Amino acid sequence: MTSFNAEVVSKGVLLKWETATETNNYGFFVQRKNNGIWSDLAFISGMGTTLNHSSYSFIDELKPDQGRHQLLQIKTG
């Protein structure tokens, strides 16, 4: 992963991340932490194996400053 950013937008929090290449990448669980507990918000499919640059995004319809976000990458094989 080359970047992971969060930006407040009118609909909530826009999460954006990029990869330079991917190897056996099944995808990413987008997670939010509230009250000390991480919860899955969504699963975003990965590109598998590629030498190409890939961009991903997800909008969490949450008021800003109501949680923290992280990505959990799932690999195949």
How many helices (H) and strands (E) the chain has is answered by: 0, 6
Domains recognised in the chain with CATH numbers:
3-75 (2.60.40)
Query: What's the token pair of residue 21?
Result: 């290449």
Sign of the C-alpha dihedral computed for residues 1, 53, 22 and 27 taken in this order: positive
Instruction: Tell me the pLDDT band of 62, cut-offs 50, 70 and 90.
Output: confident
Instruction: Please report which confidence band the pLDDT of residue 49 belongs to, taking 50, 70 and 90 as the band edges.
Output: very high
Average pLDDT of the chain is 95
Whether 65 has a pLDDT exceeding 80, the answer reads: no
Average pLDDT, integer, range 6-22: 96
User: For residue 15, which of 58, 54, 46 has the smallest C-alpha distance?
Assistant: 58
